[in-house]
């Protein structure tokens, strides 16, 4: 009953202001936007989407990662390993895991080709260099890289500035959080050239004990614009050091001290660098035809370090020798410190051609990428090295190579004053090869090829100048990741058929969106709830499954001073049949809930603007109960939570020295709620007191999120 009252209050009185329903394509298009035109959709497209501009993100950009800043969009659930939104963070949209959400930056794939993951910790403070982004729910439009399997996020970095500027932003907050950002632009020189850049440094101790983050990042862009030509060369990247907190807490540990960290070794850290280099050439040929060429090189390298006490020497291929006990007998174990490395190179070529007339828009795109990733482990200290080994000898060494080639053509045709037809066809070919050994010393020899055809159709009908309805069908196919193969060599690719019907209405002071979806999966790769030995979530094929729901958004200007914006998602997410090992045998659990897929998600805000230069926002988030596994086990339940934040922005326009001074404040979880947004769940066989008999036990790990905390920042613009 209490949860129901919370939910009614949420819907009745709160609203979310970050959401922007109007599309960027509703404004005059500039050459910068052509970079992402091939992967974005417009307002009249039959695809559920949200657009976010720089101004919406800047009000809460005080150091937290991009997923946290998107927390209040429809169907979104976010989490943070360290609990405070800095360091390792994650985002799920419609219950879709980050591995299945396609991310592009300027049309270039950001997902790691092997793991499919998106690690925002590698690009700290990246939001400070983002011009706009679009979130597409469902399959969405065809895009570059691993297919969008329920959601996609495409990002456009900073546009060219007409005028020179300099900007310094600093913020401080709870858990010794510090953020320092310096930005500049030369403005357009000789009406053609611009140079801009950013340097950032973020430090935080984290809510969880010792889960600190030491983050550095940069962004540099050179641009040339003349007539119908735009050339951009940019490089950006980051260096992160984070103390490990991916192990979470057991239930007893959570009750005892929710901020404790089971790790005690002083250098149990993740240390990783990633650099991106991009070149974009946009050419408008005439009033109807334009082209875009994009090139990318990404270089990533780094390791995580672990202290291992009494670890089995068999795991290290003869590099280390066993300890002996007090009687001189070999124990088969020893203490050591190891590093597990990734060293990878990623190349991308994108090319597109666009035709645009008053009634017909056509886009032709091709993308080719090649990836090579080395995986190896070193022992940097051991109590007993073998005589033939020494420090930094590799105990495993492997490589993965992946090529990805895709072609897609899409178009929209205005049939008359009411109907607009949309079609999109993609052919994609993927090859993945591996050699060498995994960290478990398993010889991993794969040579897998996949060919996918992904058609999409949609129809929009304009009811009036203020409203429209639409419907669409889309198909997506997606290959397994490296870790999927490591956990199951017989893993299968997944397929999704997505059906969506929606209604949009906009009038002065009112915006409404209602979208219904039915996502029918074949062999969906769902999270089992378990983690592997490096903290990555394990996935498995679920046979036949579905997600169906309704997403409703409303933005209402109540008065000159008050703005309301609310969204709610009601859904049902089911595995049609779940087979799992239990009590030593395979058990059919029948229809079960898909892991990490709450039936209710709602986000809302009230914005009070007593003056043009002052905004006070009260933000609320409700996430319903979710299961961390797929067998509906009681021990796998994450309780629902309802969290509220308070955000303040005050702008000052001084007459001297500064063009603008912006003071921002954010109080997260203002009601000081203790809640958990993520975790993991596992089962294991345990021996009974009766010899020879086993019984399946289960357990869980939890990632507690921060109680009340704050961030305060000031931005000086010159």
Which range marks the domain in which residue 412 is found? 2-15+188-651+661-705
Instruction: Specify if 50 maps to a domain.
Output: no
Distance of CA 576 to the CA centre of its chain: 27
pLDDT given for residue 697 in this prediction? 53
Using DSSP's 3-state secondary structure scheme, residue 541 falls into: strand
First to last CA, the chain: 53
State the CATH number of the domain containing residue 501. Answer: 2.40.170.20
Using DSSP's 3-state secondary structure scheme, residue 67 falls into: helix
Instruction: Specify if 337 maps to a domain.
Output: yes
Q: What is the gyration radius of the CA atoms in the chain, in angstroms?
A: 26
pLDDT given for residue 690 in this prediction? 43
How many domains, the chain?
1
Instruction: Specify if 381 maps to a domain.
Output: yes
- Given a contact cutoff of 8 angstroms between Cβ atoms, the answer to whether 539 and 528 are in contact is yes
**Gap between the Cα atoms of 384 and 363, Å rounded:** 62
Instruction: Specify if 149 maps to a domain.
Output: no
- Given a contact cutoff of 8 angstroms between Cβ atoms, the answer to whether 140 and 152 are in contact is yes
Instruction: Specify if 20 maps to a domain.
Output: no
pLDDT given for residue 685 in this prediction? 54
pLDDT given for residue 497 in this prediction? 96
Distance of CA 438 to the CA centre of its chain: 26
**Pick from 527, 459, 521: which is nearest to 495 by CA?**
521
DSSP string, 678-695: EEEEEEEEEE-SSTT-EE
pLDDT given for residue 146 in this prediction? 85
**Pick from 630, 642, 633, 544: which is nearest to 594 by CA?**
630
- Given a contact cutoff of 8 angstroms between Cβ atoms, the answer to whether 377 and 394 are in contact is yes
pLDDT given for residue 11 in this prediction? 36
- Given a contact cutoff of 8 angstroms between Cβ atoms, the answer to whether 486 and 114 are in contact is no
**Gap between the Cα atoms of 507 and 525, Å rounded:** 41
Instruction: Specify if 197 maps to a domain.
Output: yes
Proportion of the chain above pLDDT 70, given as a percent:
93
Give the list of residues 6+ apart from residue 267 with CB closer than 8 angstroms, or none: 305, 307, 337
- Per-residue pLDDT tens digits for 550-606: 999 999 999 989 999 999 999 999 999 887 766 666 778 889 999 999 999 999 999
Beta pairing class for 600-611 and 614-623 = antiparallel
- Given a contact cutoff of 8 angstroms between Cβ atoms, the answer to whether 441 and 414 are in contact is no
pLDDT given for residue 583 in this prediction? 63
Give the list of residues 6+ apart from residue 273 with CB closer than 8 angstroms, or none: 122, 237, 238, 239, 240, 300, 301, 302
**Gap between the Cα atoms of 407 and 425, Å rounded:** 8
Instruction: Specify if 183 maps to a domain.
Output: no
Give the list of residues 6+ apart from residue 665 with CB closer than 8 angstroms, or none: 646, 647, 648, 649, 710, 711, 712, 713
DSSP 97: -
pLDDT given for residue 390 in this prediction? 85
pTM: 0.92
- Per-residue pLDDT tens digits for 412-470: 999 998 999 999 999 999 999 999 999 989 999 999 999 999 999 999 999 999 999 99
pLDDT given for residue 696 in this prediction? 53
DSSP E strand boundaries for 213-332: 213-226, 229-243, 269-284, 289-312
What token pair was written down for 245? 């907190």
pLDDT given for residue 2 in this prediction? 42
Residue identified by tokens 């203790």 is 674
**Gap between the Cα atoms of 448 and 427, Å rounded:** 17
Q: Which residues of the chain have pLDDT under 50?
A: 1-29, 687-695
What token pair was written down for 367? 């993308």
pLDDT given for residue 20 in this prediction? 33
Instruction: Specify if 391 maps to a domain.
Output: yes
pLDDT given for residue 586 in this prediction? 73
Proportion of the chain above pLDDT 90, given as a percent:
77
pLDDT given for residue 693 in this prediction? 47
**Pick from 137, 49, 46: which is nearest to 471 by CA?**
46
Encode 644-653: b = buried (16+ Cβ within 10 Å), e = exposed: bbebbbebee
DSSP E strand boundaries for 415-493: 419-436, 446-462, 467-478
């Amino acid at each position: 009953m209490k949860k129901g009252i919370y939910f009614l209050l949420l819907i009745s009185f709160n609203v979310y202001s970050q959401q922007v329903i109007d599309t960027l394509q509703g404004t005059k298009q500039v050459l910068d936007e052509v970079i992402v035109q091939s992967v974005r959709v417009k307002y009249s497209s039959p695809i559920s989407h949200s657009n976010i501009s720089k101004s919406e993100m800047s009000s809460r950009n005080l150091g937290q990662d991009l997923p946290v800043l998107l927390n209040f969009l429809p169907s979104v659930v976010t989490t943070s390993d360290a609990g405070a939104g800095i360091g390792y963070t994650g985002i799920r949209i419609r219950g879709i895991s980050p591995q299945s959400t396609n991310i592009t930056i300027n049309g270039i794939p950001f997902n790691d080709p092997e793991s499919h993951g998106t690690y925002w910790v590698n690009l700290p403070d990246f939001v400070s260099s983002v011009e706009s982004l679009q979130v597409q729910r469902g399959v969405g439009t065809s895009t570059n890289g691993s297919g969008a399997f329920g959601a996609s996020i495409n990002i456009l970095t900073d546009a060219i500035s007409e005028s020179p500027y300099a900007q310094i932003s600093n913020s401080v907050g709870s858990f010794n959080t510090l953020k320092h950002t310096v930005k500049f632009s030369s403005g357009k020189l000789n009406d053609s050239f611009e140079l801009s850049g950013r340097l950032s440094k973020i430090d935080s101790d984290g809510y969880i004990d010792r889960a600190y983050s030491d983050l550095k990042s940069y962004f540099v862009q050179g641009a040339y614009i003349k007539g119908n030509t735009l050339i951009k060369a940019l490089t950006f990247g980051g260096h992160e050091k984070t103390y490990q907190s991916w192990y979470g807490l057991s239930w007893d540990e959570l009750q005892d001290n929710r901020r404790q960290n089971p790790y005690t070794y002083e250098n149990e850290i993740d240390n990783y660098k990633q650099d991106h280099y991009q070149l974009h050439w946009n050419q408008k040929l005439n009033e109807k035809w334009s082209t875009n060429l994009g090139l990318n090189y990404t270089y990533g390298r780094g390791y995580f370090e672990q202290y291992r006490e009494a670890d089995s020497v068999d795991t290290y291929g003869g590099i280390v020798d066993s300890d002996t006990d007090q009687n001189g007998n070999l124990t088969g174990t020893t203490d050591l410190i190891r590093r597990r490395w990734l060293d990878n190179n990623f190349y991308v070529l994108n090319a597109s051609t666009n035709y645009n007339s008053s009634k017909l828009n056509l886009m032709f795109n091709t993308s080719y990428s090649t990836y090579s990733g080395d995986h190896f482990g070193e022992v940097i200290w051991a109590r007993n090295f073998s005589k033939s080994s020494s420090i930094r000898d590799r105990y495993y060494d492997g490589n993965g190579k992946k090529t990805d080639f895709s072609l897609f053509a899409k178009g929209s045709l205005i049939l008359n004053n009411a109907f607009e037809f949309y079609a999109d066809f993609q052919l994609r070919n993927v090859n993945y090869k591996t050699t060498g050994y995994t960290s478990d010393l398993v010889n991993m020899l794969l040579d897998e090829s996949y060919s996918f055809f992904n058609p999409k159709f949609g129809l929009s009908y304009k009811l009036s100048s203020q409203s429209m309805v639409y419907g669409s069908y889309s198909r997506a196919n997606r290959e397994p990741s490296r870790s999927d193969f490591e956990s199951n060599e017989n893993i299968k690719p997944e397929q999704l058929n997505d059906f969506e019907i929606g209604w949009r209405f906009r009038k002065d002071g009112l915006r409404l969106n209602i979208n219904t979806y039915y996502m029918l999966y074949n062999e969906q790769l769902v999270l089992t709830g378990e983690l592997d030995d490096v903290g990555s979530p394990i996935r498995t094929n679920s046979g036949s499954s579905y997600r169906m729901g309704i997403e409703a958004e409303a933005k209402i200007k109540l008065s000159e001073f008050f703005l309301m914006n609310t969204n709610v998602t009601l859904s049902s997410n089911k595995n049609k049949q779940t087979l799992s090992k239990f009590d030593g045998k395979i058990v059919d659990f029948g229809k079960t809930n898909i892991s990490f897929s709450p039936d209710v998600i709602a986000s809302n805000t009230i914005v009070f603007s007593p003056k043009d230069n002052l905004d006070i926002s009260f933000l609320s988030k409700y996430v319903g109960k979710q299961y961390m596994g797929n067998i509906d086990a009681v021990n796998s339940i994450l309780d629902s939570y309802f969290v509220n934040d308070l955000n303040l922005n005050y702008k000052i326009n001084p007459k001297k020295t500064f063009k603008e001074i912006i003071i921002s404040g954010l109080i997260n979880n203002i009601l000081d709620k203790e809640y958990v947004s993520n975790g993991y769940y596992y089962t294991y066989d345990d021996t009974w007191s009766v010899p020879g008999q086993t019984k399946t036990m289960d357990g869980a790990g939890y990632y507690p999120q921060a109680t009340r905390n704050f961030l305060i920042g000031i931005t000086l613009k010159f």
